[in-house]
């Protein structure tokens, strides 16, 4: 049982890691980017090619995937989403437009990945030796992802709480109009948050690819996973995303252990539905 919970925590750390970027995009910049997961696969593929084609450390793939993903997401916000924001008469209309537009992008990216990288599942071995402690053993690559999740999450929490930049982002998350009236450059900072979200997901893609193989069509799975985590944790709350990730990971592992491993996704969705019905603002949201 201890090992099950431990596995759950490590898995949950990975969920939190995947969700951090989308939390910047959806929680702060208020854009539900359905093509989010495509940058996860981009990060994964960059690492895959680093090790298979060039025999480099797969994490060196980050040197390419992070800047590319940052720039691409900034461009998406600036040139595709901003016109929609300017045009939208209300939030409902904007949400609809953004969902459609980013869904189109998802197809475009997925199409490119399929054409240039093929539809195969791509995986490789890296840091796959077990690490033992307290009688349980965990693969080192998963531990690395967990550590990265905690470090990145912690850093983001600190930035959000302690810096001017973070305070401005929190203000935008709560009320973009009031933030603008207080002198925050809402559009520039939202674009930056959106781009940072893209960079984060590329990192998570690279780390997760060390133990889970990806294919061109697996992006949407991670987008959904991240969304569930964010909604359970409360949009815009970095600590909430990490906590919700851990909660979902543990619930999945323990539920799979006690009931049936085939039902792990069902457990995830059940938690999501429960949260939506009972506390739609998220478990760890203020107020």
Partner 1 sequence: MADRSKRLAFLATIIATAILAALPLGLSAYGVSTGIVYFANIALSTAWALFSGPTRYISLATAAFVGVGMYTVAFAHVSLNLAVCLALAAIIGFFFAFVVGLSTLRLRGVYFVIFTFGLTELMRQMSSWYEINITNKLNRFITISVDSIVIYEMLLVLAVIAVVGSWYVSTTRLGHALRAIGEDETVARHAGINATWVKVLVFAIAASMMSLVGGVYVLRYPSIDPTVGFGNSWSFQVLIAALLGGPRKPWGPAIGAVLLVMLSDFLVGAFSRYFTIALGVCFVVIVYFIPGGIAPRIEQLYGMLARLRQAGRSASDASTPQAPPTEPVATDNEMGAQRRAVVPRRRSALHPLMRRLTRSGPRLVVRDSAGPPPDAMLSVYGLRKAFGGLVAVRDLSFDIPAGGITGLIGPNGSGKTTVLNLITGELPPDAGSIVLQGDEIIGVRSFEICRGRIARTFQLVRVLPGMTTRENVMLGRMFGSDPTSPAAALREADALLERVGLADRAQLIGSQLTYIDQKRVELARALATRPQLLLLDEWLAGLNPTELKIGIDLIRQIQREGITVLMVEHVMEAIRALCGHVVVMNAGMKIAEGTAAEVLSDPKVTQVYLGEDDAAA
The candidate with the shortest Cα–Cα distance to 210, out of 260, 157, 161, 143, is 143
Whole-Å CA distances, 78 to 58, 75, 86, 249: 31, 5, 11, 35
Q: Report the residue from 67, 111, 130, 154 that binds partner 1 according to the rule CB under 8 A.
A: 111
Q: Report the residue from 54, 107, 125, 165 that binds partner 1 according to the rule CB under 8 A.
A: 107
Does residue 101 bind partner 1 (CB under 8 A)?
Answer: yes
The pairing of strands 130-133 and 136-139 is antiparallel
Q: Match 């990265």 to its residue by tokens.
A: 148
Neighbours of 129 (CB within 10 A): 9
Q: Give dist(CA 260, CA 258) in Å, integer.
A: 6
Residue 222 CB, nearest distance to partner 1 (Å)? Answer: 13
Q: Report the residue from 18, 20, 32, 203 that binds partner 1 according to the rule CB under 8 A.
A: 32
Residue span binding partner 1 (CB under 8 A) among the ranges 3-11, 129-137, 192-200, 267-275: 267-275
Q: Which residues contact 221 (CB under 8 A, 6 or more apart)?
A: 37
Does residue 82 bind partner 1 (CB under 8 A)?
Answer: no
Q: Report the residue from 1, 92, 133, 258 that binds partner 1 according to the rule CB under 8 A.
A: 92
Does residue 54 bind partner 1 (CB under 8 A)?
Answer: no
Q: Which is nearer to partner 1, 185 or 270 (CB)?
A: 270
Neighbours of 100 (CB within 10 A): 12
Q: Give dist(CA 122, CA 124) in Å, integer.
A: 7
DSSP state of 278: H
Q: Report the residue from 71, 75, 108, 155 that binds partner 1 according to the rule CB under 8 A.
A: 108
Q: Name the 3-class secondary structure at 133.
A: strand
Residue span binding partner 1 (CB under 8 A) among the ranges 41-49, 95-103, 200-208, 240-248: 95-103
Does residue 118 bind partner 1 (CB under 8 A)?
Answer: no
| Residues that bind partner 1 in the complex, under the rule CB under 8 A | 26, 32, 80, 83-84, 87, 89, 91-93, 95-97, 99-101, 103-112, 114-115, 224, 227-228, 231, 260, 262-263, 265-266, 269-270, 272-273, 276-277, 280
């Amino acid at each position: 049982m201890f090992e099950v919970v431990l596995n759950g925590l490590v898995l949950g750390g990975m969920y939190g890691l995947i969700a951090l970027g989308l939390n910047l995009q959806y929680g702060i910049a208020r854009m539900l980017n359905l093509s989010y997961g495509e940058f996860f696969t981009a990060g994964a593929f960059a690492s895959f090619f680093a090790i298979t084609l060039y025999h480099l450390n797969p994490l060196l793939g980050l040197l390419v995937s992070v800047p590319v993903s940052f720039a691409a997401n900034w461009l998406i916000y600036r040139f595709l989403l901003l016109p929609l924001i300017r045009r939208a008469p209300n939030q409902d209309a904007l949400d609809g437009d953004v969902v459609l537009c980013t869904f189109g992008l998802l197809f475009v990216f997925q199409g490119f990945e399929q054409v240039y990288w093929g539809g195969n599942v791509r995986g490789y071995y890296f840091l796959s030796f077990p690490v033992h402690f307290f009688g349980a053993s965990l693969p080192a690559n998963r531990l690395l992802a967990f550590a990265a999740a905690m470090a990145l999450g912690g850093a983001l929490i600190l930035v959000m709480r302690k810096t001017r930049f973070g305070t401005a982002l929190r203000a935008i998350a709560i009320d973009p109009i009031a933030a603008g009236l207080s002198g925050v450059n809402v559009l520039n900072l939202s674009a930056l948050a959106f781009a940072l979200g893209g960079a984060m997901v590329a990192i998570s893609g690279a780390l997760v690819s060390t133990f889970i193989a990806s294919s061109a069509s697996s992006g949407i799975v991670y987008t959904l996973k991240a969304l569930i985590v964010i909604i359970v944790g409360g949009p815009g709350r970095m600590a909430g995303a990490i906590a919700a990730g851990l909660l979902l990971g543990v619930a999945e592992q323990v539920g799979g252990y006690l009931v049936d491993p085939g039902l792990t996704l069902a457990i995830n969705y059940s938690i999501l539905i429960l949260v939506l019905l009972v506390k739609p603002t998220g478990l760890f949201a203020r107020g």
